[in-house]
Structure 1
């Protein structure tokens, strides 16, 4: 990431063009996922590793991870860490478009596609969580005759 100015405080400067450190960390990890450096199911770097890599505080790294999870890029597994979310059935943007936009989608189209991808990943994670709960309930009530 060249030319990125990083704000060190929690408030965004009036210019608005400065990324806060947690946003830089989240965007760097998103780019690693998009480029294939990190694949679905891969463990994300630990908090300690990210703190060293970015010279960031613990809370800053936690905010970056929370942002990735909120946007559907990462999931937590209690006791195991954070992992790249499975983004199954995500269609390559260029394959889904016709005409001149196929190679370079307009910013509005790109933003909409990314928002839909995030919503789809979140919905898939919620479905997986619900399936796990149903299985747990079914296996827990099987021996009680309910």
Structure 2
């Protein structure tokens, strides 16, 4: 399999695009234990240098990792390896953590809760501005 091609993939091609190469390399580090839950993922600048990639490729790779539950963002702090799900139906002693996505549903819920809290703060701020404008308007 050829790797590292930039641009669009031809139909049926097995060539990985740059962002897929980056995402797979980071998944491998997480699966092998090189990056553990809670560890900071390399910064965008570090990944750009390491893979000779554009910022867009790194951003797309991080989006894949977040989507698949391997990473979670903490605004102002960076991206981190997600915690593995603990609410599975399987016996924790038999779960193959090395092959399972770290985080999964828990990471997605945490991310959505954070976005919801930020949105509610923005709405409250906008509501206060509207109220202030309405109070200053004479009819």
Task: Using structure 1 for the length normalisation, give the TM-score.
Answer: 0.64
Aligned to 2:50: 53
Q: How does 1:1-146 map to 2 (within 5 A)?
A: 4-9=2-7, 11-89=8-86, 95=94, 117-118=100-101, 121-125=103-107, 126=109, 130=113
SS of residue paired to 1:6 = coil
SS of residue paired to 1:56 = coil
Higher RCO, 1 vs 2 (CA within 8 Å, ≥6 residues apart): 2
Q: Distance in 2 between matches of 1:33 and 1:122?
A: 14
CA contact (8 A) 2:72 2:111 kept: no
Higher helix share: 1
CA deviation after TM superposition for structure 1 residue 28, in Å = 0.2
Q: Distance in 1 between matches of 2:12 and 2:112?
A: 41
Gap runs ≥5 in structure 1 = 98-113, 134-146
Gap runs ≥5 in structure 2 = 118-139
Aligned to 2:136: none
Q: Count the aligned residue pairs.
A: 113
CA deviation after TM superposition for structure 1 residue 16, in Å = 1.3
**Please, what is the CA RMSD of the aligned residues?**
3.3
Who wins on radius of gyration, i.e. which is larger? 2
